[in-house]
Structure 1
Amino acid sequence: MTTGTIGHRICCFGDSLVNGVRDEEKGGWPMRLGRRLLDEAGHEVTIYNLGIRAETSEGLKARWEFEAKLRMVAEFPTILMFSFGVNDANHAEDRGEETTMRVSPAASAANAAEIIGAASKLAPTLWIGPQAVIDGSKSSQEINQRLEGLNQIYLETARGFNVPYLDLFATTLSDETWQRALRRGDGYHPNKAGYDRVAELIWEWGAVQKTIGLSSSDD
Structure 2
Amino acid sequence: MQILASPSSSPHVSQTPIGQPLKIIALGDSLVYGFGDPERGGWVEQLRRWWMSPDSGGHVLYNLGIRGDRAQQVSQRLEVEFKHRGELRNRVPDLIILSVGTNDSPRLGRVDGRNYTDFDEFEVQINHLLFRAQQLCPVLFVGMIPVDETKMPFLDCFYYTHADQHRYKEATRRACQQHQIPYLDLFDRWMARGETWQQQRLTSDGLHPNTLGYQALFEDVLGWEALSVYTRTTNAFGIGG
TM interval, shorter chain, is 0.7 to 0.9
> Aligned in 2, Cα 1:211/1:120: closer, same or farther, shift over 3 Å?
farther
> Aligned in 2, Cα 1:214/1:110: closer, same or farther, shift over 3 Å?
farther
> Aligned in 2, Cα 1:40/1:163: closer, same or farther, shift over 3 Å?
farther
Question: Does 2:206 correspond to 1:180?
Answer: no
Task: Give the drift of 1:72.
Answer: 3.0
Looking at structure 1, the residues matched to 220 and 32 of structure 2 have their Cα atoms a distance apart, in angstroms, of 14
Query: What is aligned with 2:179?
Result: 161
Alignment of 1:25-40 (within 5 A): 25-39=39-53
Task: Provide the aligned length of Structure 1 versus Structure 2.
Answer: 209
Aligned AA (2:106): N
Looking at structure 2, the residues matched to 204 and 113 of structure 1 have their Cα atoms a distance apart, in angstroms, of 26
Task: Give the drift of 1:180.
Answer: 1.0
Question: Does 2:93 correspond to 1:75?
Answer: no
Question: Higher mean Cα deviation, 170-179 or 100-109?
Answer: 170-179
Q: Which runs of 5 or more residues in structure 1 are unaligned?
A: none
Q: Which runs of 5 or more residues in structure 2 are unaligned?
A: 1-17, 236-241
Identity value in percent: 26
Aligned AA (1:86): T
Query: What is aligned with 1:203?
Result: 222
> Aligned in 2, Cα 1:137/1:68: closer, same or farther, shift over 3 Å?
same
Query: What is aligned with 1:126?
Result: 140
- 1:34-81 residue CA offsets vs partner (Å, 9 max, x unmatched): 222344842112111111111111211111121111113552752100
Query: What is aligned with 2:126?
Result: 112
Looking at structure 2, the residues matched to 155 and 204 of structure 1 have their Cα atoms a distance apart, in angstroms, of 19
Question: Higher mean Cα deviation, 127-136 or 72-81?
Answer: 72-81
Aligned AA (1:181): R
Alignment of 1:35-46 (within 5 A): 35-39=49-53, 41-46=55-60
Aligned AA (1:201): D
Question: Does 2:164 correspond to 1:149?
Answer: no
Question: Does 2:109 correspond to 1:89?
Answer: no
Query: What is aligned with 2:189?
Result: 171
Query: What is aligned with 2:5?
Result: none
- 1:1-32 residue CA offsets vs partner (Å, 9 max, x unmatched): xxx84321111111111101111225311111
Looking at structure 1, the residues matched to 20 and 170 of structure 2 have their Cα atoms a distance apart, in angstroms, of 35
Q: Secondary structure at the match of 2:83?
A: helix
Looking at structure 1, the residues matched to 54 and 106 of structure 2 have their Cα atoms a distance apart, in angstroms, of 37
Task: Give the drift of 1:200.
Answer: 0.5
Aligned AA (1:97): R
Residues 5 and 212 in structure 1, CA contact (< 8 A), matched pair in contact too:
no
Looking at structure 2, the residues matched to 178 and 116 of structure 1 have their Cα atoms a distance apart, in angstroms, of 29
Residues 22 and 185 in structure 1, CA contact (< 8 A), matched pair in contact too:
no
> Aligned in 2, Cα 1:153/1:181: closer, same or farther, shift over 3 Å?
same
> Aligned in 2, Cα 1:142/1:31: closer, same or farther, shift over 3 Å?
closer
Q: Secondary structure at the match of 1:44?
A: coil
Give the structure with the larger helix fraction: 1
> Aligned in 2, Cα 1:178/1:214: closer, same or farther, shift over 3 Å?
farther
> Aligned in 2, Cα 1:211/1:200: closer, same or farther, shift over 3 Å?
same
Aligned AA (1:30): V
- 1:176-209 residue CA offsets vs partner (Å, 9 max, x unmatched): 4443121x44200121011111110011112222
The TM-score, its normalising length taken from structure 1, stands at 0.85
Aligned AA (1:151): K
